[in-house]
């Protein structure tokens, strides 16, 4: 792990204030990829996916050489006009970089249902393109933020026959977080050589154990996307380091996913819901998400209230075929609160309150005797979460 975000050879970028947001913050970012770069992507499963998601999916097979990202406007729910505007912005950047329109991947994040102001792009894209540098990726990490309080960045390096392979990723996400791919934007870059199909396989695996295991509020965004671009600058081929690369990529995506949860809107707690012993991975996840999405559990977490009955009730209503009360054990960190479906004889309210006061909490739920296990990471619900989302457009 690095202490700071590492540059990737073959990746240049810039981020500017184009006036898309109303707070004078960075809001328009351009990333240029060297010729020969391969890119894989995963996208939201929301039926009302935004115009840039549709266009990015279509362009993904055209050997992309640039990413165009704006914050402050999601360009979602904008119909045919939104689609046309997205294509126009791609054409603007393609003209500046002397590449094909289809080689631009567009991404947007922000308010849903508002058309893009193309004048902001007409002025901003040439400026951003003129400021492209190999050292600006940290600026892009700022430029993609909306309600986030901090940037999310992470780098990993590993050696292959004495040659360093680097992976660096950035992400944004704070609210409207519920995985159905990856509920946020994330852009990951590496200097390994890879075919797109190989890259897609590694990204899908990494996403499923990280971004697809986080939830703040149960809402799947319209704009979610995660891309992985490989420039090949290290000279190391992915086939020669597949396991090492997958492990490092998993670390990058998991770190970014956890950073999103820790920066959840109004969050004061980082909570892992760990479910063991289910008859399938799906059953374990169903129980975990049922607990993670319970408003009563989440408000109890915010209040540091050891009201374990809310956890028990959520487990009991999980939509799985078989759930036997006598098989259920529940723990707050290492503290046993339910044993074999009954209150643990060693549990006291005072002990429970001590565990609930902590900012990092693991709720372990055993629902059977199998070796299967799944974890979901979530937050509490605070007063600030309601305030942030009530005032989001004002």
Q: Residues with catalytic annotation? A: 183
Phi-psi category of residue 224: left, alpha or beta, with phi > 0 → left and psi -120 to 50 → alpha: beta
Q: Taking the chain, what is the end-to-end CA distance rounded to the nearest angstrom?
A: 39
Q: Which helix (H) or strand (E) holds 127?
A: helix 118-130
Q: Is 284 exposed, middle or buried (0-12, 13-18, 19+ CB in 10 A)?
A: buried
Handedness of CA 349, 350, 355, 357 (dihedral sign): positive
Whole-angstrom distance, CA of residue 70 vs CA of residue 31:
12
Q: Is 149 exposed, middle or buried (0-12, 13-18, 19+ CB in 10 A)?
A: exposed
Q: Which of 41, 72, 69, 1 is nearest to 188 (CA)?
A: 41
């Amino acid at each position: 792990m690095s202490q700071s975000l590492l540059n990737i050879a073959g990746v240049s970028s810039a981020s500017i204030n184009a006036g898309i947001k109303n707070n004078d913050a960075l809001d328009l970012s351009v990333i240029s990829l060297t010729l020969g770069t391969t890119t894989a992507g995963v996208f939201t499963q929301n039926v009302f996916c935004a115009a840039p998601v549709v266009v990015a999916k279509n362009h993904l097979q055209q050997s992309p050489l640039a990413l165009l990202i704006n914050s402050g406007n999601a360009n979602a729910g904008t119909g045919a006009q939104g689609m046309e505007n997205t294509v126009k912005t791609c054409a603007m950047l393609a003209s500046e970089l002397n590449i094909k329109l289809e080689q631009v991947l567009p991404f947007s994040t922000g308010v849903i249902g508002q058309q893009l102001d193309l004048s902001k792009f007409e002025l901003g894209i040439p400026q951003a393109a003129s400021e492209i540098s190999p050292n600006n990726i940290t600026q892009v990490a700022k430029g993609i933020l909306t309600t986030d309080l901090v940037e999310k960045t992470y780098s990993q390096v590993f050696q292959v026959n004495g040659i360093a392979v680097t992976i660096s990723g950035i992400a944004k996400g704070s609210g409207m977080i519920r995985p159905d791919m990856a509920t946020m934007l994330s852009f990951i870059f590496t200097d390994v050589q890879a075919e797109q199909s190989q890259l897609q396989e590694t990204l899908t695996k990494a996403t499923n154990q990280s971004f697809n295991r986080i939830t703040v509020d149960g809402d799947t965004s319209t704009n979610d996307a995660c891309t992985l671009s490989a420039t090949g600058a290290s000279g190391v081929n992915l086939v020669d380091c597949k396991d090492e690369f997958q492990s490092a990529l998993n670390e990058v995506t998991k770190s970014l996913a956890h950073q999103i949860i820790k920066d959840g809107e109004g969050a004061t707690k980082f909570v892992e819901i760990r479910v063991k012993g289910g008859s399938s991975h799906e059953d374990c996840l169903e129980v975990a998400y049922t607990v993670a999405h319970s408003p009563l559990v989440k408000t109890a977490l915010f209040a540091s209230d050891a009201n374990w009955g809310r956890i028990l009730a959520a487990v009991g209503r999980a939509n799985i075929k078989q759930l036997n009360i006598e098989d259920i054990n529940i723990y707050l960190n290492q503290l046993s609160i339910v044993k074999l479906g009954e209150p643990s004889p060693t549990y006291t309210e005072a002990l429970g309150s001590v565990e609930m006061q902590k900012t990092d909490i693991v709720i372990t739920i055993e629902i059977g005797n199998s070796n299967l296990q799944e974890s979901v990471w979530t937050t509490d619900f605070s007063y600030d979460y309601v305030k942030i989302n009530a005032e989001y457009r004002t």
